[in-house]
Amino acid sequence: MGERLDLAGPLGNGFPLTDVSTAVLVGGGIGVAPLQFVAEALRADGVPVLAALGFRDAGQARLLGALTLDDTWIATEDGSLGRHGTVVALLDAIKPPAPATLYTCGPRPMIDAVVAWAAAHRLAGFASLEAHMACGTGACQGCVVATRSGYRRVCVDGPVFAFADLVPSEARE
């Protein structure tokens, strides 16, 4: 007790939650956890929320026990829980209503696939990206990602970026 703790924050930008008629949350692995808070905020505003969540296997899907998402669809890559396949294949099966706004968080290859899927279905959305952040303040430039407007820092310019701004990770290699 009585010790001092210095904190810096909040840093970066969260998901925009205004002007949304229907939301589709797309999560993969531990990337599903932040989507719980998005769902709660949107539901509080009366926005219908559908969740499509993907996991490697049923063991990884244990994370579902910590979530309270109403309309949830599950996919596992090994077919041990929910639909067999990826979360993007699950989106094809669900056929989200237009105009839905997608919110995604998870591994970058999954995010790239969700962004491509959304573009093919003329849906907009936002992705929360992960990067190694050495300083968390933007000074070191260690967490940059390619965007259509140049390289941006995940720690201060993100971690949330509009789908339209993202450059697919395979295009950068």
In a domain, residue 101? The reply is yes
What are the DSSP calls for 125-162, one per residue?
Answer: EEEE-----SSSSSSS-TTEEEETTEEEEHHHH-BEEE
Same-domain pairing of 90 and 155: no
Same-domain pairing of 40 and 69: yes
Same-domain pairing of 121 and 36: yes
In a domain, residue 9? The reply is no
Same-domain pairing of 45 and 101: yes
- pLDDT tops 80 at residue 1: no
pLDDT of residue 173: 47
pTM above 0.85, yes or no: yes
User: What CATH number does the domain containing 81 carry?
Assistant: 3.40.50.80
In a domain, residue 3? The reply is no
Same-domain pairing of 120 and 148: no
First to last CA, the chain: 50
- Give percent of the chain above pLDDT 90: 72
Same-domain pairing of 135 and 122: no
In a domain, residue 45? The reply is yes
pLDDT mean over 157-173: 84
| Cα separation, 162 vs 13, whole angstroms | 11
Same-domain pairing of 83 and 140: no
Q: What are phi and psi of 47, to 5 degrees?
A: -85, 130
Q: Which domain holds residue 145?
A: 131-162
Instruction: Report the domain count for the chain.
Output: 2
> pLDDT tens digits, residue range 76-123?
999 999 999 999 999 999 988 888 999 999 999 999 999 999 999 999
| Cα separation, 33 vs 28, whole angstroms | 9
In a domain, residue 7? The reply is no
DSSP conformation class of 6:
-
> pLDDT tens digits, residue range 33-55?
999 999 999 999 999 999 999 99
Same-domain pairing of 103 and 143: no
In a domain, residue 39? The reply is yes
Which value, to the nearest 10 degrees, does the dihedral of the CA atoms of residues 134, 136, 142, 145 take? 140
Same-domain pairing of 38 and 106: yes
In a domain, residue 173? The reply is no
Contact 123, 98 (CB under 8 A): yes
Same-domain pairing of 82 and 31: yes
